[in-house]
Amino acid sequence: MRFLITAGPTREHLDPVRFLSNRSSGKMGYALAEAARAHGPVTLVSGPVSLPVPSGVEFVPVVSAAEMAEAVLRHYAEADVVIMAAAVCDFRPKHVAAHKRKKQTMERSLELEPTPDILAELGRRKTRQVLVGFALETENLEASAEEKLRRKNLDWIVANEARALDAATNTVTIIGADGTRESLPELPKRDAAVAILERVLPRRR
CATH number of the domain bearing residue 158: 3.40.50.10300
Q: Which of 22, 153, 160, 170 is catalytic?
A: 22
Q: How confident is the model at residue 199 (pLDDT cuts 50, 70, 90)?
A: very high
160 is catalytic: no
Q: How far apart are CA 138 and CA 102, in angstroms?
A: 35
Q: pLDDT digit string (tens) for 159-169?
A: 998 888 889 99
Which among 85, 87, 83 is positioned nearest to 11, based on CA atoms?
87
SS (H, E, C) 135-163: EEECCCHHHHHHHHHHHCCCCEEEEEEHH
End-to-end Cα spacing for the chain: 11
Counted domains in the chain: 1
pTM for this model (two decimals): 0.94
94 phi/psi in degrees, rounded to 5: -70, -30
Decide: 93 and 21 in contact? Cβ < 8 Å. no
Q: How far apart are CA 167 and CA 68, in angstroms?
A: 23
Q: What pairing do the DSSP bridges indicate for beta strands 12-13 and 58-61?
A: unpaired
Residue 124 lies in domain:
3-203
Q: pLDDT digit string (tens) for 37-89?
A: 999 999 999 999 999 999 999 999 999 999 999 999 999 999 999 999 999 99
